[in-house]
C-alpha cells in the first residue's frame, strides 16, 4: 500500500478499501486457478471403460467480488446448477460429491486441496498489499 499523507480519516479508509479490493481480487483469482488445476488433476487417472464427459472440468467458477462498507467478499465455486448428470441420471451435486470423495474413476479431493490453498493465497496477496 502506498504510504502517504491522508487529509482525513475518510481518505485513509477509502485508500484501505481500494487496496483491500485489489488484494481480495488477487486472492480470488489465485484460488480460482488452484481450483481449475485441482479439478483438471481429477482427469489424470485412467479412464477405464467409462467415456468421460469432462463436465467437471468446466465447472469451476469465480464469482463477482462484493464490497460493502468495511467488508468485502470473494467466492469461488463448482457449478452444480445443472439439473442432472446425464449418463448417471443423478444430480450434478451428487456426482461431484462422489468425485471429490474418490468414489469415481479419477483423482478426488480437488475441492479440499483448493480449500487448503486459500489461506496461503490470502497470506501472499494481503501480505504483499499490507506489509
CA 66 – CA 52 distance, rounded (Å) = 36
The residue-averaged pLDDT of 76-101 equals 82
Q: What is the pLDDT of residues 59-68, one digit of tens each?
A: 999 999 998 8
CA 91 – CA 96 distance, rounded (Å) = 9
DSSP state of 69: T
> φ, ψ for residue 2 (rounded to 5)?
-70, 110
pLDDT(76) > 90: yes
Q: What's the mean pLDDT when you consider all of the chain?
A: 90
What pLDDT is attached to residue 3?
A: 66
CA 118 – CA 38 distance, rounded (Å) = 13
pLDDT band at 18 (very low <50, low <70, confident <90, very high): very high
What pLDDT is attached to residue 2?
A: 59
Amino acid at each position: 500500500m502506498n504510504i502517504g499523507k491522508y487529509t482525513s480519516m475518510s481518505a485513509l479508509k477509502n485508500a484501505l478499501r481500494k487496496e483491500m479490493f485489489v488484494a481480495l481480487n488477487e486472492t480470488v483469482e489465485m484460488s480460482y486457478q488452484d481450483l481449475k488445476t485441482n479439478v483438471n488433476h481429477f482427469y489424470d487417472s485412467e479412464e477405464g471403460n467409462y467415456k468421460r464427459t469432462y463436465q467437471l472440468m468446466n465447472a469451476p467458477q469465480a464469482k463477482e467480488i462484493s464490497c460493502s462498507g468495511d467488508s468485502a467478499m470473494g467466492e469461488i465455486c463448482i457449478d452444480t446448477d445443472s439439473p442432472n448428470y446425464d449418463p448417471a441420471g443423478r444430480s450434478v451435486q451428487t456426482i461431484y460429491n462422489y468425485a471429490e470423495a474418490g468414489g469415481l474413476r479419477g483423482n478426488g479431493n480437488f475441492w479440499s486441496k483448493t480449500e487448503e490453498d486459500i489461506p496461503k493465497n490470502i497470506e501472499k496477496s494481503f501480505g504483499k498489499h499490507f506489509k
